[in-house]
Amino acid sequence: MATKAAISENPQKSGRFSIDETIGRDSAVLSGQLQVLFEKLFSPTSKKSLRRFSSREAASLLGVTDSYVRHIATQEDEVTSEKSATGKRTFSLDEVNTIRQVLGRTKPAYLPGRRETDHLQVIAVTNFKGGSGKTTTAIHLAQYLALRGYRVLALDLDPQASMSAMLGFQPEFDVNDNETLYGAIRYDANRRPVTEIVRQTYFPGLDLIPGNLELHEFEHDTPRALAARDSADTDMFFMRVGAALLDIQDDYDVVVIDCPPTLGFLTLSALCAATSVLITVHPQMLDVASMNQFLSMTSDLLNVVKGAGGNLDYDWMGYLITRYEPNDGPQAQIVAFLRSLFGDRVLTSMMVKSTAVSDAGLSKQTIYEAGRETMHRQTYDRAVESMDNVNSEVEALIRKAWGRS
Ligand SMILES: Nc1ncnc2c1ncn2[C@@H]1O[C@H](COP(=O)(O)OP(=O)(O)OP(=O)(O)O)[C@@H](O)[C@H]1O
Ligand SMILES: [Mg+2]
């Protein structure tokens, strides 16, 4: 992978050394090589694009039969599709959405988005335990909803920006200064409207506010802003994410926030902006012990925020079991333990651990993007089924918040 010229000099060979310079050199070498690698893998001319869907898949996304989709494709002029050499029809997501509009004309229930009186759903996916499955959950939920015709905004609040990378934007190359949410929530004169920061993605119905390292700045700026605060002239830190979302709320049905694995000002502000919270839990004892600390600290901090005027009214909260291994006895015991403590706040569906998810992740894809033909069929089907079950349970919670069944 690395070229010979790129190897970073090893200062340990000559005795004691200064780590800042070494890390700096390593970073420069790594950054250069990553750029080369990404250009090879994802060259500017090979931008990410969404695959086409079979009529069976389109039917499932629309909630109608396969034959009905094929019927509409031949009967309605505005519905387009492609036919393969073997006569099989395929549809882009835009084409699926056109069918949805056609169906919605006679039966509005086919159009799932919120009505005028329904409030924007803002779902914070959180837990300060690293690797608990936040990004995997957030990206699959966002895509699941977009595939079903909701208008979705993915908000990447993690400086590591894995969700942005999954959506085709490399945080270190494609996202510049003031192009993350930090640009819209910062305290100084460089603040800019969030409308200038939102990006369209290759995925119809799914927009993104990308993340990168500059999000960290909010954690440094906030204590200074709190110390300097002498009047109510600026929004407190916990109102800032919500205030930014207000400017674009009419454009979306659901916002999915991928929170960082920390409990800083950014996460607290995201929790205040949220209408619901999904806490991802990997069912292992160390993770559950860490979650215990997370819950206790979150509760204390949010209590302070509430005292300062923060709004903490939620539609729902849920614990989602992630990377579950059905044949692992201790995991099953921990799940039973959590259910006995938290009752139906633990989602019934669990995200099962699957090589289909991790393999697709290697090429920055979700299992919804990777086609069935790219993997072992049974593995793929099981993974999609598990992910669909989780996401449809969340969809039902969203619909319940809008007073629908
Ligand atoms: N259902 C699954 N099956 C297999 N692997 C999974 C599954 N869910 C997540 N993973 C893998 O586990 C790792 C951690 O998941 P993920 O990145 O979603 O966690 P995270 O909470 O966002 O981590 P961080 O705290 O670093 O942001 C990733 O490598 C991901 O591919
Ligand atoms: Mg993550």
Query: Is residue 2 scored above 50 in pLDDT?
Result: no
Q: Can you tell me the distance from the alpha carbon of 240 to that of 103, in angstroms, rounded to the nearest whole number?
A: 39
Residue with tokens 């990447």: 156
Per residue in 349-387, pLDDT (tens digit) is: 999 999 999 999 988 999 999 988 888 999 999 999 999
Q: How many helices (H) and strands (E) does the chain have?
A: 15, 10
How far CA 61 is from CA of 112, 146, 370, 373, 397, in Å, comes to 11, 10, 16, 18, 19
**Domains 53-110 and 121-401 are alike in CATH topology:** no
Which residues fall within 8 angstroms of residue 59, CB to CB, at 6 or more apart? 65, 66, 68, 69
Ligand 1 binding site (Cβ under 6 Å of any ligand atom): 130-136, 158, 160, 162, 261, 322-323, 351, 353-354, 357-358, 361
Tokens read off for 396: 């039902």
Q: 32 C-alpha vs ligand 1 centroid, how far in Å?
A: 26
The yes-or-no verdict on residue 39 having pLDDT over 90 is no
At 25, list the tokens.
Answer: 């050199």
CA 48 from centre of chain: 17
Domain boundaries, the chain: 53-110, 121-401
Domain 53-110, what architecture?
Orthogonal Bundle (1.10)
In the numeric block, which tokens belong to residue 178? 């003031």
Rounded distance from Cα 282 to ligand 1 centre (Å): 10
Q: What separation in Å is there between the alpha carbon of 396 and the centre of ligand 2?
A: 24
The protein residue with its alpha carbon nearest to ligand 1, atom 16, reads 133
219 pLDDT more than 80 = yes
Q: What is the pLDDT of residue 6?
A: 57
Would the pLDDT of 34 be above 60?
A: yes
Q: Which overall architecture, per CATH, does domain 121-401 show?
A: 3-Layer(aba) Sandwich (3.40)
Among the bound ligands, name the one nearest to the CA of residue 129.
1
Is the whole-model pTM more than 0.85? Answer: yes
Would you state the pLDDT for residue 3?
Answer: 47
Structure tokens at 183: 């640009």
pLDDT digits 0-9 by tens, 167-186: 999 998 899 999 999 999 99
User: pLDDT tens for residues 222-245?
Assistant: 999 888 875 555 678 999 999 999
HSE toward the beta carbon, residue 156, CA cutoff 13 A: 32
